[in-house]
């Protein structure tokens, strides 16, 4: 039964990829990319990799679709035809693909207990992580404790991406921002009361996303707190179930982005200011690195949480809690910064 | 014995709801492909979003019994009831205000 599910999901995956390659409308391509991520997330679930599936669903389907769409608002919505026939590119792709398929011949079969990956360090993780690190979710202990360096690297990569984007596109000048800030709010909401057939009135309203969507606003108000609450649950429950800093940061950010989409970016910027976000992004990385440094000052190795408390397990617990918090804050801040940066630029101003 | 009959009834109900859900999902897919204009397609996809997923989730809740899973499924159900209907509404409204006209009657002029 499981193999049937696998075959169906994998064939859908292939169809989606072919469609993404062929389609020229970038909007459709972004939607298909979202579907692709959702299908891969389902595949991860069938492989029992729920943490990875959760990340894929939150990042691939959720936030990257929004970020790509807001990037699309700056460019053309159709992919341009290349000026020449891309035969060389096709050759390169075919050769690379053939090499990759040849490479899979040597890989061990899926789920083979004798494959190196199951005999190297995994044995120790499974056997010793409950009394070495503590959390019931082994993925969390591997990610945050055994492989703390790698996770620090990932956090810094996200941070760097955010810095690079802000450096390339930048925030809008503050002067312009202030002018829009103090516009009277009544005009935006007036559409619901006097829903006239008047074209001009409508034109005035259409500029503001979500201004005439009363239902959307109410549902947004109902659900955004719940989304933020769920993000906190994912953040602090990561030791026990699937979840952790990355997913929580992304979910929290998507709550804020939803707010920005429904109630206008300027309104969201008054709640979460760009300056505060930049501070938060730095603070996230700082918390992570700081925990490592504190460990060194207390006489351990970098990111060796055992020394953080009298009892090694408590130290591990505290260390994992703190670095997950750092990851969550950093990811949240960078994601919202990316959205703000894209949303603040007008079409064609790149 | 009584419990067994109760379990059987639950199984039958589950099967009914799953079948209904699958039927609605497939018909929604066919509708999305076959129907003529944006709003009717929206109707088809709205059925898949709402009735189909509600039926399947309800069937799963029947199977999971009085456990934590049921409560989580219930939350997902509530979430879907509100969000997917809202999404359908928002899409249709945006399309209408962006100038999409609903197709009224048969389109014989092509």
This model of the complex carries an ipTM of: 0.80
CA distance A209 to chain B (A): 10
Alpha carbon distances (Å) from A346 to A63, A74, A285, B24: 21, 6, 31, 42
User: Which residue is it, tokens 């994992």?
Assistant: A320
The answer for residues whose C-beta is within 8 angstroms of residue A237's C-beta and 6 or more apart is: A243
Distance CA A88, CA A335 (A): 36
Cβ contacts of A226 on chain B, cutoff 8 Å: 79
Over the stretch A259-289, which tens digit does the pLDDT of each residue have?
988 888 888 888 888 889 999 999 999 999 9
CB pairs under 8 A between A and B: 23
pLDDT score recorded for residue B2: 59
User: pLDDT confidence of A308, banded at 50, 70, 90?
Assistant: confident
Distance CA A302, CA A298 (A): 10
Q: Do B82 and A213 touch (CB under 8 A)?
A: no
- Six-digit token string for A78: 């159709």
What sign does the dihedral B93-B99-B101-B107 (CA atoms) show? Answer: negative
CA distance B94 to chain A (A): 9
Cβ contacts of A222 on chain B, cutoff 8 Å: 82
Of A202, A213, A219, the CB nearest to B82: A219
Q: What is residue A137's DSSP assignment? A: -
Average pLDDT over residues A69-80: 82
Is the confidence at residue A74, as pLDDT, over 90? no
Average pLDDT over residues A218-230: 91
Q: Which residue of A has its CA nearest to B93?
A: A213
pLDDT score recorded for residue A179: 39
Is the confidence at residue B37, as pLDDT, over 70? yes
DSSP per-residue codes, A300-326: S-TT-GGGGSSSHHHHHHHHHHHHHHH
The answer, for A212 touching chain B at a CB cutoff of 8 Å, is yes
The answer, for A214 touching chain B at a CB cutoff of 8 Å, is no
- B:70-99 residues touching chain A, CB 8 A cutoff: 79, 82-83, 86, 89-90, 93-94, 97-98
User: Which residue is it, tokens 């979460």?
Assistant: A272
Mean pLDDT, chain B, as a whole number?
86
pLDDT score recorded for residue A329: 94
Is the confidence at residue B61, as pLDDT, over 80? yes
What's the angle, vertex CA A209, arms to CA A205 and CA A215, rounded to 5?
Answer: 90
Cβ contacts of A212 on chain B, cutoff 8 Å: 93, 97
Q: Which residues pair with A25 in a beta bridge?
A: A78
């Amino acid at each position: 039964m499981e193999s049937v599910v696998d075959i169906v999901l994998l064939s859908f995956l292939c169809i989606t990829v072919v469609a993404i390659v062929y389609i020229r409308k970038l909007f459709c391509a972004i939607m298909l990319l979202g579907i692709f991520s959702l299908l891969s997330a389902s595949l991860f679930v069938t492989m029992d990799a729920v943490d990875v599936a959760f990340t894929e669903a939150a990042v691939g389907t959720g936030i990257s679709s929004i970020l790509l769409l807001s990037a699309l608002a700056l460019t053309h919505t159709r992919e341009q035809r290349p000026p020449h026939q891309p035969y060389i590119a096709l050759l390169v792709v075919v050769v690379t693909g053939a090499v990759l398929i040849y490479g899979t011949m040597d890989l061990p079969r899926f789920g083979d207990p004798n494959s190196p990956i199951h005999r190297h360090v995994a044995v120790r993780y499974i056997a010793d992580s409950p009394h070495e690190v503590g959390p019931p979710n082994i993925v969390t202990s591997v990610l945050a404790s055994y492989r703390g360096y790698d996770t620090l690297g990932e956090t810094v990569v996200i941070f760097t991406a955010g810095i690079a984007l802000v450096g390339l596109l930048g925030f809008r000048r503050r002067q312009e921002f202030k002018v829009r800030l103090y516009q009277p709010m009544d005009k935006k909401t007036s559409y619901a009361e006097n829903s006239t057939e008047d074209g001009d009135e409508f034109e005035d309203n259409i500029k503001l996303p979500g201004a005439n969507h009363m239902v959307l606003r109410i549902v947004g108000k109902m659900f955004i707190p719940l989304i933020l609450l769920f993000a906190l649950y994912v953040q602090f429950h990561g030791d026990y179930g699937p979840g952790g800093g990355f997913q929580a940061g992304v979910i929290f950010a998507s709550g804020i982005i939803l707010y920005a989409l429904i109630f206008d970016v300027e309104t969201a910027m008054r709640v979460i200011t760009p300056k505060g976000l930049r501070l938060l992004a730095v603070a996230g990385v700082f918390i992570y690195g700081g925990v490592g440094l504190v460990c060194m000052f207390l006489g351990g190795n970098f990111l060796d949480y055992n020394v953080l408390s009298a009892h090694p397990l408590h130290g591990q617990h505290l260390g994992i809690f703190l670095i997950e918090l750092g990851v969550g804050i950093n990811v949240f801040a960078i994601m919202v910064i990316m959205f703000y940066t894209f949303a603040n630029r007008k079409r064609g101003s790149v | 014995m009584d419990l067994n009959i109760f379990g059987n009834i639950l199984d039958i109900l589950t099967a009914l709801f799953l079948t209904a859900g699958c039927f609605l999902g497939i018909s929604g897919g066919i509708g999305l492909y076959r129907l003529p204009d944006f709003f009717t397609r929206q109707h088809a996809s709205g059925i898949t979003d709402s009735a189909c997923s509600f039926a399947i989730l309800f069937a799963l809740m029947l199977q999971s019994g009085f456990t934590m899973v049921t409560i989580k499924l219930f939350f997902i159900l509530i979430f879907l009831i509100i969000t997917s209907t809202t999404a359908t509404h928002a899409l249709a409204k945006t399309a209408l205000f962006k100038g999409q006209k609903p197709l009224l009657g048969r389109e014989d002029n092509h």
